[in-house]
Amino acid sequence: MSPREVIEKALAEGRTALTAPEGRQICEAYGIATPGEGLAGSADEAVDISRKIGMPVVLKIVSPDILHKTDAGGVLVGLKTAEEVREGYTTILANARAHDPAARIDGVQVQQLVGGGHEVIVGAVTDPTFGKIVAFGLGGVLVEVLKDVTFRLAPVSGDDALTMLDDIQAAEVLRGARGAEPADRAALAGLIERVGALVDDHPEIVEIDLNPVFASASGAVAADVRILVGEAPAPAERLPREQILAQMTRIFKPRAVAVIGASAEQGKIGNSVMRNLINGGYQGRIFPINPKAADIMGLPAYKSIADVPYDVDVAVFAIPAAFVAPALEEAGKKGVAGAIMIPSGFAETGNADGQREIVEIARRHGVRMLGPNIYGYYYTPENLCATFCTPYDVKGSVALTSQSGGIGMAILGFSRTTKMGVSAIVGVGNKADVDEDDLLTFFEQDDNTSAVAMHLEDLKDGRGFVEAARRVVRRKPVIVLKAGRTAMGARAAGSHTGALAGDDKVYDDILRQAGVVRAPGLNDMLEYARALPLLPAPQGENVVIITGAGGSGVLLSDACVDAGLTLMEIPPDLDEAFRAYIPPFGAAGNPIDITGGEPPSTYENTVRLGLSDARIHALVLGYWHTIVTPPMVFAELIARVVAEERAKGNVKPVVASLAGDTEVEEASEYLFEHGVIAYPYTTEKPVAVLGAKYRWARAAGLLR
């Protein structure tokens, strides 16, 4: 029987768990090694099989009605002689009958006792967000108590499977730490890859648990196989990429916008939206829709969008939830591409039916709906402020999205105060229709956007997101703040692997697999968004710290390790070259401590050397406020040297930490404006930002 036939048979019999022989059969079909074994229907047969596969053996009851074999006294381990096997068979059968007299008993599985090497767990589960995911960890305490496990989307390529072996904390163990035998990595990765293929090919496999797998120098053998089956989940509905792009382009670059519920009355959302569209400088047509007004803010108003005598791309809704459905129906008939659904009062207040209704209307008309329950959206290249907030005016190249209005407001305030250059700010709210995948599809090819930052609490279609993110990441960084990090996923655990798949670890591993830069908190997301588009991409891993304050050097080194950066081992000739510029009691090496009280020339010489030597790929500067080199002197000097070297083709990311009196604030701002990511009073932030840029550069394959 093929795996599919095995599964179908089990499902036809109303079973959700496959028997051990069934599991083994499926494994064999996928080249997943299992111990030699056979199914014995009698004590004699058990002895015969034992002799054939070699003793010692393990005996296990085979019954579809006994799931927890050990509890039923249905497992005996390490039987070494024919006599022991014979007695064991009888004992197990008696135990099973005592445990459940009604249980159907298919026989006793006789299995070669394997061992040696490392006990690992390989499994797969069906995640509600990401679908089939594969898990790997070391057996026992490490996985079960320390949760030292790693996940990937299925299917898993051989290369990805190899990265899983290194992604657990105890990775060294498999490499032979403490004198242990190193595992055959290729064999183990191969087994992981096969499990991924198996669940990818068979969506009816709800969970699979190979526990333990004995991974030794000579291979990987799954000593126990447990497979749960069920109905295959419905595949996510996805529109073709070209269609999404066409819709999103009409939404972000509309020729005409209608405001449904436009109002002349200050304080009303329909008034704020009108004012923002007009004052924001939007150059397309604006059509206020209001059954009771002839004109609003100097523009002719229409009773219904149906009355507008032009094509309309976007309808912004600024009316109460109760009136949305008929208005959306009309907008749909009018042929709008996007419905910007500002109103609240839908799923977030328990009105799931109302939300379903408008989704259905939108879908019927091919309208893409943003929201409901949002602040609207900005797209600065078109001077488009379709929101009830205030216009935003610092154009730039980062696109931000948020699932929450509060976070959207924080994005707006932060952008304004830090002069962060923004291409778009988009509220996605309830995500009844348009979600992050759609937005990524637009931003991917949007030349006005060079980085994307997204606040999200969940993903409607995790795989769709990963696919879109992977494409975007090849060209520009995608930063994600995933809220609800620490909420433990309350999920029915049918297996070890299922129990391990706590929400956040799955998100964390899979977002990383997608190449996304995950921000640990809100402020980090905002700072990454602000800084990443300004920093050039590094060309290699060699980071060098140049500092005027030894104390900052130590903290900057700490921060580099925290950020996963590599402090370059300075080769002797380069060390010599740096030493020529710094006082004899300064420290070369890395950090390069130029010592306090040095004149601007010392900063200039060392930074220039750092930028021009091709072996160095990124600089972290530590500035110490002195009267010899005041803050603005430092800032102007560094900005000039960086620009000069850039003009010569020495394009490297440079970040700086400024320690000093309050003048360092102005100096930091000046540096930021000149493409050097600088912060006062912190050694952590500039390095964290550089670390984020590196994470992206690695994911984009720029450092290979």
By CB under 8 A, the residues from 620 to 659 that bind its own copies are 622, 624-625, 627, 659
Query: Could you say which of 146, 197, 239, 702 contacts its own copies (CB under 8 A)?
Result: 146
Q: What span, in angstroms and rounded, lies between the C-alpha atoms of 370 and 405? A: 13
Decide if residue 548 touches its own copies (CB under 8 A): yes
Interface residues for its own copies in 151-180 (CB under 8 A)? Answer: 169-170, 172-173, 177-178
Decide if residue 492 touches its own copies (CB under 8 A): yes
Helix, strand, coil content of the chain in percent (nearest 5): 40, 20, 35
Q: Which is nearer to its own copies, 554 or 637 (CB)?
A: 554
Interface residues for its own copies in 579-608 (CB under 8 A)? Answer: 583-585, 587, 589, 591, 593, 596-597
Decide if residue 72 touches its own copies (CB under 8 A): no
Interface residues for its own copies in 411-450 (CB under 8 A)? Answer: 412-414, 416-417
What 3-state class would DSSP assign to 93? Answer: helix
Decide if residue 493 touches its own copies (CB under 8 A): yes
Q: How far is the CB of 526 from its own copies (least distance, A)?
A: 6
Decide if residue 21 touches its own copies (CB under 8 A): no
Q: Which residue has the tokens 């009062």?
A: 345
Q: What span, in angstroms and rounded, lies between the C-alpha atoms of 508 and 152? A: 10
Decide if residue 283 touches its own copies (CB under 8 A): no
Q: Which is nearer to its own copies, 612 or 682 (CB)?
A: 682
Interface residues for its own copies in 337-366 (CB under 8 A)? Answer: 344, 348-350
Q: Which residue has the tokens 């436009």?
A: 262
Query: Could you say which of 660, 678, 693, 699 contacts its own copies (CB under 8 A)?
Result: 660
Which span sits near its own copies by CB under 8 A: 137-145, 322-330, 435-443, 603-611? 137-145
Q: Which residue has the tokens 């026989």?
A: 107
Nearest alpha carbon to residue 316 among 399, 372, 380: 372
Q: Which is nearer to its own copies, 287 or 392 (CB)?
A: 392
Binding-residue pattern over the window 289 to 328 for its own copies, x denoting contact by CB under 8 A: ----------------------------------------
Decide if residue 560 touches its own copies (CB under 8 A): yes
Q: Which is nearer to its own copies, 155 or 498 (CB)?
A: 498
Q: Which is nearer to its own copies, 106 or 665 (CB)?
A: 665
Q: Which is nearer to its own copies, 132 or 482 (CB)?
A: 482
Decide if residue 12 touches its own copies (CB under 8 A): no
Task: Give the end-to-end CA distance of the chain in Å, rounded to a whole number.
Answer: 45
Q: How far is the CB of 276 from its own copies (least distance, A)?
A: 13
Query: Could you say which of 5, 295, 562, 576 contacts its own copies (CB under 8 A)?
Result: 562
Q: Which two tokens stand for residue 413?
A: 């305030």
How far does CA 401 lie from the centroid of its chain? 15
Decide if residue 495 touches its own copies (CB under 8 A): yes
What is the enclosing helix (H) or strand (E) of 243? Answer: helix 241-252
Decide if residue 233 touches its own copies (CB under 8 A): no
Q: How far is the CB of 661 from its own copies (least distance, A)?
A: 5
Nearest alpha carbon to residue 462 among 257, 196, 233, 230: 233
Q: How far is the CB of 310 from its own copies (least distance, A)?
A: 32
Query: Could you say which of 410, 577, 702, 703 contacts its own copies (CB under 8 A)?
Result: 410
Nearest alpha carbon to residue 135 among 146, 147, 125: 125
What 3-state class would DSSP assign to 188? Answer: helix
Q: What span, in angstroms and rounded, lies between the C-alpha atoms of 233 and 196? A: 17
Which span sits near its own copies by CB under 8 A: 14-22, 322-330, 467-475, 548-556? 548-556
Q: How far is the CB of 590 from its own copies (least distance, A)?
A: 8
Q: What span, in angstroms and rounded, lies between the C-alpha atoms of 36 and 29? A: 15
Interface residues for its own copies in 500-539 (CB under 8 A)? Answer: 520-524, 526
Q: What span, in angstroms and rounded, lies between the C-alpha atoms of 666 and 645? A: 23
What 3-state class would DSSP assign to 643? Answer: helix
Q: Which is nearer to its own copies, 112 or 497 (CB)?
A: 497
Decide if residue 73 touches its own copies (CB under 8 A): no
Q: What span, in angstroms and rounded, lies between the C-alpha atoms of 687 and 679? A: 10
Q: How far is the CB of 524 from its own copies (least distance, A)?
A: 8
Q: How far is the CB of 140 from its own copies (least distance, A)?
A: 8
Q: What span, in angstroms and rounded, lies between the C-alpha atoms of 215 and 168? A: 15
Q: What span, in angstroms and rounded, lies between the C-alpha atoms of 340 and 370? A: 5
In this structure, the strands spanning 205-216 and 37-40 are unpaired
Cβ pair 481, 454 in contact under 8 A: yes
In this structure, the strands spanning 338-341 and 314-317 are parallel
Interface residues for its own copies in 386-405 (CB under 8 A)? Answer: 389-390, 402-405
Decide if residue 455 touches its own copies (CB under 8 A): yes
Q: What span, in angstroms and rounded, lies between the C-alpha atoms of 383 and 278? A: 9
Cβ pair 622, 544 in contact under 8 A: no
Cβ pair 644, 674 in contact under 8 A: no
CA distances from 194 to 27, 190, 200, 251, 644 (A): 9, 6, 10, 43, 53
Q: How far is the CB of 88 from its own copies (least distance, A)?
A: 23
Interface residues for its own copies in 238-267 (CB under 8 A)? Answer: 267
Query: Could you say which of 36, 381, 489, 630 contacts its own copies (CB under 8 A)?
Result: 489
Query: Could you say which of 45, 508, 684, 702 contacts its own copies (CB under 8 A)?
Result: 684
Please compute, for residue 582, the number of CA atoms within 13 A of its CA located in the half-sphere on the CB side.
26
- Kindly report the number of other CB atoms within 10 A of residue 643's CB atom: 12
Write out the E strands in 74-117: 75-79, 107-112
Which span sits near its own copies by CB under 8 A: 4-12, 121-129, 182-190, 490-498? 490-498
Q: What span, in angstroms and rounded, lies between the C-alpha atoms of 71 and 452? A: 53
Q: What span, in angstroms and rounded, lies between the C-alpha atoms of 24 and 649? A: 60
Decide if residue 577 touches its own copies (CB under 8 A): no
Contacts of 237 (CB under 8 A, 6+ apart): none
Decide if residue 555 touches its own copies (CB under 8 A): yes
Q: How far is the CB of 50 from its own copies (least distance, A)?
A: 26
Q: Which is nearer to its own copies, 334 or 530 (CB)?
A: 530
Q: Which is nearer to its own copies, 302 or 623 (CB)?
A: 623
Counting residues that bind its own copies (by CB under 8 A) gives 100
Q: What span, in angstroms and rounded, lies between the C-alpha atoms of 238 and 608? A: 51
Cis peptide bond upstream of 128, omega within 30 = no
Q: What span, in angstroms and rounded, lies between the C-alpha atoms of 303 and 654? A: 56
Which span sits near its own copies by CB under 8 A: 13-21, 192-200, 533-541, 680-688? 680-688
Interface residues for its own copies in 183-212 (CB under 8 A)? Answer: none
Q: How far is the CB of 553 from its own copies (least distance, A)?
A: 5
Which span sits near its own copies by CB under 8 A: 145-153, 202-210, 603-611, 646-654? 145-153
Q: How far is the CB of 144 from its own copies (least distance, A)?
A: 5
Decide if residue 144 touches its own copies (CB under 8 A): yes
- For residues 359-370, one letter each, b for 16 or more C-beta atoms within 10 angstroms of the residue's C-beta and e for the rest, the string is bebbeebebbbb
Which span sits near its own copies by CB under 8 A: 92-100, 135-143, 248-256, 637-645? 135-143
